[in-house]
Amino acid sequence: MNILILSCGTRNKIVEYFMREMKGEGKVIATDCSELAPALYEADTFYIVPRITEGTYVNEILDICKKEKIDGVFSLIDPELSLLAENSGKFAEIGTTVIGSAYALCEMALDKWKMYKWLTNNGFLCAKTYMDKESFYRELSSGTAKFPVFVKPRCGSASIAISKVYEKATLEVLLKDGETDYIIQEFLDGQEIGADCYVDLLSGEIVSVFTKKKIVMRAGETDKSVSFKDERLFEEIKRFLQRSGFIGQVDIDIFDIGGSYYISEVNPRFGGGYPHAYECGANHMKLILENLRGRMNRPEIGAYESDVFMMKYNEVKMLRKQR
């Protein structure tokens, strides 16, 4: 059993957990476009590959899969999810399973406007979103919208280029005439929650849901959090996953506003706060490996320890230059 983790970056814990669960019964291989990606050096073997935008990228990953006899492959960055899904047939032909959701779902998760339209059309609470400032101004005048709001790239991740805006003058500066790559999104003022979920690749059943209250965020990722359980929240997450069709590992950002749950972001991959889930007992590495062995997992929603705090801290990895 061999696993390939693409664009591993600084996600050392994800590589470490797979190494632990493999128990030497196979290899964990990692890739990145930079030799200074520290997670590379946690794996059994690693490859330096081109950027995902290069035309040769997919073929190079396919070659690695053939050479290393890879059973399952997944990425840790949003822009690569659609690329893998789009080429899942090519991977299947060589015996490699793409661990992730379908292409259309990966695209929807990346596009905040598409996700907003899907959520509202399917009866889920979410932040009111505008594609242009004129629509927002009309609702601002009627009293159905208010400042502050967030201005975000329509397709973006890791909280890059997001601005919290408190007045019209700043909004005008950020959104120039004809700007279509950004959206305006209602500010949700409530407790932010992260959900780490796994939908079985074979049965399509939701087999694991872990939830945490976020305490501190840093660079778009959970820095401090505490695990908790709420059956009503579990049911809403299950309803979303069943209706949407996401599969494999899914990271969901949610807001609790006055006891109502608003879905904020969906990332069909391991989130930056997943180590909290693993350390509390939500072992999604084991679930993935069982699926790759051809075995379905049984649902164990909420099977983890609650009231456990996660606190990230800095660590360093040294790499000596080859002479």
Instruction: With 0.85 as the threshold, say if the pTM is over it.
Output: yes
Among 154, 171, 186, the domain boundary falls at 186
Residue 105 lies inside a defined structural domain of this protein: no
Same domain, 207 and 222: yes
Report the pLDDT value the prediction gives residue 124, as an integer from 0 to 100: 98
Report the pLDDT value the prediction gives residue 276, as an integer from 0 to 100: 98
Same domain, 163 and 198: no
E strands along the chain, which residues? 3-6, 28-32, 45-48, 72-75, 97-98, 129-130, 149-153, 163-165, 182-186, 191-199, 206-218, 221-228, 248-257, 260-267, 309-311
Same domain, 92 and 175: no
Residue 251 lies inside a defined structural domain of this protein: yes
Distance CA 96, CA 113 (A): 32
Distance CA 106, CA 76 (A): 13
Same domain, 60 and 80: yes
CB atoms within 10 A of CB 298: 10
- What's the mean pLDDT when you consider all of the chain? 95
Q: Which domain holds residue 146?
A: 128-186
Please write the tens of the pLDDT for every residue from 162-195. Answer: 889 999 999 988 887 555 689 999 999 999 999 9
Among 154, 186, 218, the domain boundary falls at 186
Report the pLDDT value the prediction gives residue 180, as an integer from 0 to 100: 63
Report the pLDDT value the prediction gives residue 26, as an integer from 0 to 100: 95
Same domain, 307 and 194: yes
Same domain, 231 and 302: yes
Residue 303 lies inside a defined structural domain of this protein: yes
Query: Which amino acid belongs to residue 116?
Result: Y
Same domain, 220 and 243: yes
Residue 322 lies inside a defined structural domain of this protein: no
Same domain, 255 and 301: yes
Q: Average pLDDT for residues 203-224, to the nearest whole number? A: 92
Same domain, 69 and 160: no
Report the pLDDT value the prediction gives residue 175, as an integer from 0 to 100: 86
The number of residues in the chain equals: 323
pLDDT over 70 at 159, yes or no: no
- % of the chain beyond a pLDDT of 90: 88
Among 136, 163, 186, the domain boundary falls at 186
Directed axis angle between helix 112-121 and helix 103-110, to 10°? 100
We report the CATH number of the domain holding residue 224 as 3.30.470.20
Q: What share of the chain is helix, strand, coil (3-state, %, to 5)?
A: 35, 25, 40
Residue 107 lies inside a defined structural domain of this protein: no
Total number of domains in the chain: 3
Same domain, 161 and 232: no
Same domain, 202 and 295: yes
We report the CATH number of the domain holding residue 179 as 3.30.1490.20
Cα dihedral sign, 123-128-132-134 = positive
We report the CATH number of the domain holding residue 10 as 3.40.50.20
Please write the tens of the pLDDT for every residue from 130-158. Answer: 998 999 999 999 999 999 999 999 987 66
Please write the tens of the pLDDT for every residue from 231-248. Answer: 999 999 999 999 999 999
Residue 108 lies inside a defined structural domain of this protein: no
Same domain, 201 and 307: yes
Distance CA 76, CA 66 (A): 21
Residue 151 lies inside a defined structural domain of this protein: yes
Residue 106 lies inside a defined structural domain of this protein: no
